């Protein structure tokens, strides 16, 4: 099982399926929890006290039991709108937040990485308008140039993109 917990957004993503908003019992100082099948990592929020901003180091763990309540909330979740059936209409655009939430739940190019991290690193390295669009666009367009470039870069098919957009349409903040 691959899982991402995003407490501030009240979203849990398991094996690429994002569900939320959920009531989560997760400490306020946790930014995200990543689970990679047999091990995981807790990412903490930045601290901004009297000194410079600092982030505590990630904490590695091997017992998923401490986050069982998030798994249970994900399993019990029922959408406020019915899920889109496979083969249904693909949304022509999704919010940047929805895109990022889905990408955070997808495996990336290496063990322990998400597709979000791969896309983010690639666009950051590209810079220019590609990076600006990724950071500041309100919506991501299914047939847009940026989506097509990233799909080609990471070997995503049209069917993969369609399913990602369908899943993203179910994510709400």
For the stretch 22-42, pLDDT in tens is 778 888 888 889 999 999 999
Per-residue pLDDT band for 7 (boundaries 50, 70, 90) equals confident
Of the candidates 13, 8, 14, 52, the residue with the CA atom closest to the CA atom of residue 29: 8
Q: What are the angstrom distances between the C-alpha of 132 and each of 19, 150, 169?
A: 28, 15, 23
In a domain, 28, yes or no: yes
Query: Which domain range does residue 124 map to?
Result: 93-169
For the stretch 121-132, pLDDT in tens is 999 998 888 889
Listed residues 76, 105, 134: the one ending a domain? 76
Asked if 132 and 99 sit in the same domain, the reply is yes
pLDDT of residue 42: 92
Tell me the pTM: 0.56
């Amino acid at each position: 099982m691959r899982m991402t917990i995003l407490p501030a957004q009240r979203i849990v993503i398991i094996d690429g399926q994002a569900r939320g908003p959920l009531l989560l019992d997760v400490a306020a100082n946790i930014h995200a929890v990543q689970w990679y099948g047999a091990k995981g990592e807790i990412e903490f929020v930045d601290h901004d006290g009297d000194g410079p901003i600092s982030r505590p180091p990630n904490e590695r763990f091997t017992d998923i039991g401490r986050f069982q309540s998030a798994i249970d909330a994900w399993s019990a979740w029922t959408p406020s709108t019915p899920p889109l059936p496979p083969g249904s209409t693909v949304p022509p655009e999704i919010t940047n937040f929805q895109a990022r939430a889905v990408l955070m739940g997808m495996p990336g190019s290496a063990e322990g990485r998400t597709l979000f991290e791969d896309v983010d690193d690639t666009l950051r390295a590209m810079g220019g308008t590609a990076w600006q669009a990724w950071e500041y666009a309100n919506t991501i367009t299914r047939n847009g140039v940026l989506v097509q470039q990233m799909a080609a870069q990471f070997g995503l098919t049209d069917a993969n993109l369609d399913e990602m957009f369908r899943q993203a349409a179910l994510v709400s903040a």
